[in-house]
Structure 1
Amino acid sequence: MTPTILHIDMDAFFVSVEEVLDPSLKGKAVIVGGSPEGRGVVAAASYEARRFGVHSAMPIARARKLCPHAIFLRGAHKRYSEFSARVFAILEHYSPLVEPMSLDEAYLDLTGCERLHGPAVATAQRMHDEIRDTVGINASIGIAANKLMAKVASEFAKPNGCFRVLPDQAARFLAPFPVGTLPGIGPKGVQQFRRLGVRTVRDLAALPLEFLEEVFGEWGAQLHDKARGISHSPVQPREESKSISRETTLEEDSTDPQYLESVLSYLLEKAAGQLRGEGLRARCVTLKLRYSDFKTVTRSRTLTVPACEDHILFATVVDLFRKLFTRRTRVRLIGVGLTSLTREALQQMDLFDTPARSAGRETLYAGIDRIRTKYGFRSILRATSHNEE
């Protein structure tokens, strides 16, 4: 049986929620992510703001210059989470196999559901209309035989539509498009491919597997498959995390250890916040570095006692970094992973620690998590943290 996979992406989700709550915003240039005088980055922009070149992850100061007449909103994570829960409740009526990727994005496996719901395209359209009529949010839905092609298809469905790529047409469909059409290939990757004479997916597909593996290492085999529209990644339903990781590709490759540690600090805070949010602790901490030559290295350390506190986890990952990193090659990607998760409540205490100090730190982290839940993750960060996401 040929799989039927959907990729559902809420259009300008944060902005759409704000428009539902305040209909006067519709049709206007709206930017969520901070005030025009403040720091930070754009979390979402309405299509009216995008016409001026504003996009997600752009510094707020840059967005203000491009679109000075925009309405800037700080946003509220709690509201967005509530709307997201309503959307996911609808998706789960159609299939138990729903894999959340973020508040506003998910994969859904409809394989074998035609007898229950009817043809895939009609089902996707009905799902789209139910989200719009019930929640008030527009969605773009891609339909294909695997997650890779479903995600590509959803880009062609934007804004506010459904688009299907037939299983036997995947490679032919991808071939003429720019190589950056493939998920996971960003602007820096596009530039590197151009230096190799690769501009389209067809150009990439023409490169031998051996060459791709020589140039890109373990990523080479993935590129070889992606260029042909091949993906074997299953849709994995929501369940208790077995691992938590955060990684980011840097805007510019770097050999600056202080800068790299500040990015690592930010990523660790995000991972540890999720860990505490799920009531978990980690026994193992992993550092991941990918260099400008695409060589990837990892180092791990097992803790004596499982931990969820930022200061313990960060001290571990930064020690791994300082022992691994050399200035000889620039770093392209940096990440942190937390594994061997457990609900054990044992806490790590140093020689001079006391139960009172330990309880105080627990209260501190609980307070930090409450503030982030109410005002957003970036509302309170370690002084050492730098957001590169």
Structure 2
Amino acid sequence: MKKIIIHVDMDAFFASVEQSLNPSLRGQPIFVSGNTARDSVIAACSYEAKKYGVKSGMSVFEGLNLCPDAITVRGNPERYIDTSRRIFNILLTFTEKVEIYSIDEGFLEITLEDCSYKNLKQIGLSIKRAIFEGTFLTCSVGISCNKTIAKIASDLCKPDGIMVICENEISGFMERLPVGKVPGIGPKTAEQLNLMGIELCGQVTRIPLSFFKERFGIKGEEIWHLCSGKGETNVILQSPEPKSFGHSYTLAQDTDDINLLLSVLCRLSHQVGMRMREEDYYGNIVVVTIRYKDFTSFTKRKNYPFWFNDDQTIFRNASSIIFAKPILQKIRLLGVSVSGIHKRYQMSLFKNEKREKMLKVMDSINKTYGAETIFPCLMLYEQIKCQTIKKTHAFMFDELKKFHSR
């Protein structure tokens, strides 16, 4: 019996989900973004757009310069999460050992007697077929004996491909593989290696390990082993403890409207707090990220001597960081996160029992009837400004204090 690792990577996931649900978008170059404004950021794009050189992280304006006929679609995170759940449930029908690597990719571990190329390819095709029948989406599948090689294989056979690299083929395969194709070797490191005359993994392994340790430190040892074709052979069945909880938002237009910024900040704090409470985590560090109109960024963190996971505390701390100094130029993105994360049972917490009970009721209502069914009224300013009023109930933090005193 032999252990086999399979890497499944969905093809242009966000864009493909939109195309599968809207027939008019199929075969069209599309951008998926937080909003449809020209200065918003492209979160994902279809393969039809990628042919023109469009990449995730570009602004919609840059993307349209490369692909003028592209259609910009506002992203729907809930739709993507739901589709992702369906995909991983399908993968679990093949094996219980499934690692969720990201929203659109995962590793499977299976043990087989017959590890022939023909049998491995047949398993990969079965996975692809099951996912397509369940979601109408295509994926790329890489199969080998460790996670590094399996991921390289799926990357190389995109889109909608399958690649099997048997154990006895790894050495020859890595010999001619460009170093920039190896997961864990980023563009800057690959560029450094290229400047040293090293372009292929085979060149790396012909140089003593000591050279890379001396040149790159601990990272050098990792580079040498990765280029040798070594990698993890065990999937992680449970995600590690989160290091932080955060949300960010790209505004429809650059703004210095303090009320709008406070409203967005309130919503982000509300979202972070709900996620933390859902998983029963607390933190004591608030991190705020701002991206300005000229694309320069500002990040600041602040430690607090107490633990929290409620919206009001997160919002109060985040706003005090942002507005500690005057805003000198318009803002295009806001981000809020809480780190220094610990589970409830690891500490003595929440002395305000009334507020804790009230938050549980709020979370229960939002979970039952949909996100933002009940929310701080400060968030209404953003909804009015963006004309996205929903039939919901807003409340003020002052109202909560009255509620506690009853």
Alpha-carbon distance in structure 2 between the residues aligned to 1:201 and 1:69 = 39
Indicate how the Cα distance of structure 1 residues 59 and 189 shifts in structure 2: closer, same or farther if over 3 A, else same. farther
The match for 1:293 is: none
What letter corresponds to residue 85 of structure 2 in structure 1? A
Alpha-carbon distance in structure 2 between the residues aligned to 1:213 and 1:41 = 38
The structural deviation recorded for 1:44 is: 1.6
The match for 2:2 is: 2
The match for 2:259 is: none
The match for 2:343 is: 341
The structural deviation recorded for 1:219 is: 1.7
The secondary structure found in structure 2 opposite 1:99 is strand
- Does the Cα contact within 8 Å between 2:276 and 2:282 map onto a contact in 1? no
The structural deviation recorded for 1:146 is: 0.5
The structural deviation recorded for 1:168 is: 2.1
The structural deviation recorded for 1:243 is: 3.4
The structural deviation recorded for 1:93 is: 0.4
The secondary structure found in structure 2 opposite 1:43 is strand
Alpha-carbon distance in structure 1 between the residues aligned to 2:133 and 2:282 = 42
The secondary structure found in structure 2 opposite 1:85 is helix
Bigger relative contact order (CA 8 A; separation at least 6): 1
What letter corresponds to residue 99 of structure 1 in structure 2? E
Alpha-carbon distance in structure 2 between the residues aligned to 1:270 and 1:105 = 28
The structural deviation recorded for 1:194 is: 2.2
Indicate how the Cα distance of structure 1 residues 72 and 225 shifts in structure 2: closer, same or farther if over 3 A, else same. same
Pick which of 205-214 and 173-182 moved more.
205-214
Higher alpha-carbon Rg: 2
Q: TM-score scaled to structure 1, two decimals? A: 0.68
The structural deviation recorded for 1:173 is: 0.4
Alpha-carbon distance in structure 2 between the residues aligned to 1:246 and 1:81 = 17
Alpha-carbon distance in structure 2 between the residues aligned to 1:111 and 1:270 = 44
Alpha-carbon distance in structure 1 between the residues aligned to 2:241 and 2:271 = 13
- Does the Cα contact within 8 Å between 1:283 and 1:303 map onto a contact in 2? no
Residues 26-63 of structure 1: CA distance to partner in whole angstroms, max 9, x if unpaired? 11111111455343322221111111101222222211
- Does the Cα contact within 8 Å between 1:33 and 1:75 map onto a contact in 2? yes
The secondary structure found in structure 2 opposite 1:111 is strand
The match for 1:244 is: 243
The secondary structure found in structure 2 opposite 1:53 is coil
Q: Does 1:89 align with 2:102?
A: no
Q: Does 1:224 align with 2:224?
A: yes
Q: Which runs of 5+ in 2 are unaligned?
A: 247-264, 288-302, 322-336, 373-381, 383-406
What letter corresponds to residue 69 of structure 2 in structure 1? H
The match for 2:395 is: none
The structural deviation recorded for 1:85 is: 1.2
Q: Give matches, 1:192-341, under 5 Å.
A: 192-232=192-232, 234-238=234-238, 241-244=240-243, 276=276, 278-282=278-282, 305=307, 307=309, 338-341=340-343
- Does the Cα contact within 8 Å between 1:305 and 1:348 map onto a contact in 2? no
Residues 241-285 of structure 1: CA distance to partner in whole angstroms, max 9, x if unpaired? 4233599xxxxxxxxxxxxxxxxx9xx989956951642324687
Q: Does 1:152 align with 2:155?
A: no
The match for 1:260 is: none
Indicate how the Cα distance of structure 1 residues 310 and 207 shifts in structure 2: closer, same or farther if over 3 A, else same. farther
Indicate how the Cα distance of structure 1 residues 17 and 346 shifts in structure 2: closer, same or farther if over 3 A, else same. same
Alpha-carbon distance in structure 2 between the residues aligned to 1:215 and 1:141 = 35
- Does the Cα contact within 8 Å between 2:4 and 2:110 map onto a contact in 1? yes
Residues 167-212 of structure 1: CA distance to partner in whole angstroms, max 9, x if unpaired? 1222320222221100122222222222322222122223322222
The structural deviation recorded for 1:128 is: 0.3
The secondary structure found in structure 1 opposite 2:92 is helix
The CA RMSD over aligned residues, in Å, is 4.2
Alpha-carbon distance in structure 2 between the residues aligned to 1:274 and 1:169 = 49
Residues 321-367 of structure 1: CA distance to partner in whole angstroms, max 9, x if unpaired? xxxxxxxxxxxxxx996454346782389xxxx9769978x979x98
The count of aligned residue pairs is: 318
The secondary structure found in structure 1 opposite 2:183 is coil
Alpha-carbon distance in structure 1 between the residues aligned to 2:221 and 2:313 = 38
Indicate how the Cα distance of structure 1 residues 37 and 305 shifts in structure 2: closer, same or farther if over 3 A, else same. closer
The match for 2:387 is: none
Indicate how the Cα distance of structure 1 residues 41 and 355 shifts in structure 2: closer, same or farther if over 3 A, else same. same
What letter corresponds to residue 4 of structure 1 in structure 2? I
The secondary structure found in structure 2 opposite 1:94 is coil
The match for 1:46 is: 46
The match for 2:78 is: 78
- Does the Cα contact within 8 Å between 2:120 and 2:164 map onto a contact in 1? no
Indicate how the Cα distance of structure 1 residues 10 and 308 shifts in structure 2: closer, same or farther if over 3 A, else same. farther
Alpha-carbon distance in structure 2 between the residues aligned to 1:286 and 1:111 = 44
The structural deviation recorded for 1:112 is: 3.8
Q: Give matches, 1:147-186, under 5 Å.
A: 147-186=147-186
What letter corresponds to residue 243 of structure 1 in structure 2? P
Alpha-carbon distance in structure 2 between the residues aligned to 1:177 and 1:112 = 28
